[in-house]
Amino acid sequence: MTLDELIDTFSFFDDWEDKYRFIIDLGKELPGLPDAAKTEEHLIRGCQSQVWLTYEAASGALNFHMDSDAHIVRGLIAVVLIAVQGRSASDIQQLDIEAIFGQLDLLAHLSVTRGNGLRAMVARIKAIAEHEAT
């Protein structure tokens, strides 16, 4: 799914219960991480649930692999990955993910702790992009 398709699909739903279910369904489609990758080193701090992130850089693009122990968080991970997956480090650094969340009206419908966790994921991805750009 592309970012434009995500935004279009989100606008199709009238209420947040439907959007919430859609986010959870997106998370169900994510491939999980193997247990060997669910280490302290890959754990993202600041998330209410456990979230792990690994990545690889290939041909100028960053590919992220993420997993969580919570269904809704896996869905939020899917939203983030739709925005960043396969982009160059410089594209990710310039990407205004908060604006995307604004278009989806996402943060207004998450608890404060979930919103903070979402921002922690984005901060980790941006830090990786910064590291890879140098």
Residues classed as catalytic: 47
**DSSP character at residue 32:** P
Q: How far apart are the first and last CA of the chain?
A: 29
Assess contact for 66 and 51: CB atoms under 8 A: yes
Report the distance separating Cα 21 and Cα 68, nearest Å: 17
**DSSP character at residue 44:** P
Q: Is 63 helix (H, G, I), strand (E, B) or coil?
A: strand
Paired strand residues for 54: 65
